[in-house]
Amino acid sequence: MTFNDNARSGGSRVSKRGRNTGFAVGGGGIGLIAILLISQAFGVDLTGFIGGGTGGNTAADTTLENCDTGADANANLECRLDFAAQSLDAYWEQELGSDYVPPPLVLFEQATNTGCGGATSAVGPFYCPADQTVYLDVGFYDDLRTRFDTDAGPLAQMYVIAHEFGHHIQNLEGTMNSIDRGDTGPTSDAVRLELQADCYAGAWAGEASTVPDDSGTPFLEPITRAQVADALDAAAAIGDDRIQESTQGQVNPEAWTHGSSEQRQQWFATGYEQGASACDTFAAGAL
Site residues (vs Zn ion, CB under 5 A)? 42, 194, 197
**Measured from the CB atom, is 3 or 42 closer to Zn ion?**
42
The dihedral of CA 35, 41, 43, 47: what is its sign?
A: negative
In the complex, least distance from residue 104 CB atom to Zn ion, rounded to whole angstroms: 17
**Measured from the CB atom, is 42 or 83 closer to Zn ion?**
42
**Measured from the CB atom, is 39 or 112 closer to Zn ion?**
39
Query: What Cα–Cα distance (Å) separates residue 71 from each residue in 2, 6, 109, 165, 270?
Result: 9, 7, 25, 23, 30
Whole-number Å distance between alpha carbons of 69 and 59 = 27
In the complex, least distance from residue 102 CB atom to Zn ion, rounded to whole angstroms: 18
In the complex, least distance from residue 245 CB atom to Zn ion, rounded to whole angstroms: 20
Whole-number Å distance between alpha carbons of 85 and 161 = 8
Are the C-beta atoms of 103 and 136 separated by less than 8 Å?
A: no
**Measured from the CB atom, is 66 or 178 closer to Zn ion?**
178
Strand partners, 134: 105, 127
The dihedral of CA 170, 133, 69, 138: what is its sign?
A: negative
Summary count for the chain: helices (H), strands (E)? 9, 7
In the complex, least distance from residue 84 CB atom to Zn ion, rounded to whole angstroms: 16
Q: Which amino acid is at 268?
A: F
In the complex, least distance from residue 243 CB atom to Zn ion, rounded to whole angstroms: 13
Are the C-beta atoms of 161 and 81 separated by less than 8 Å?
A: yes
In the complex, least distance from residue 147 CB atom to Zn ion, rounded to whole angstroms: 18
**Measured from the CB atom, is 79 or 276 closer to Zn ion?**
276
**Measured from the CB atom, is 42 or 272 closer to Zn ion?**
42
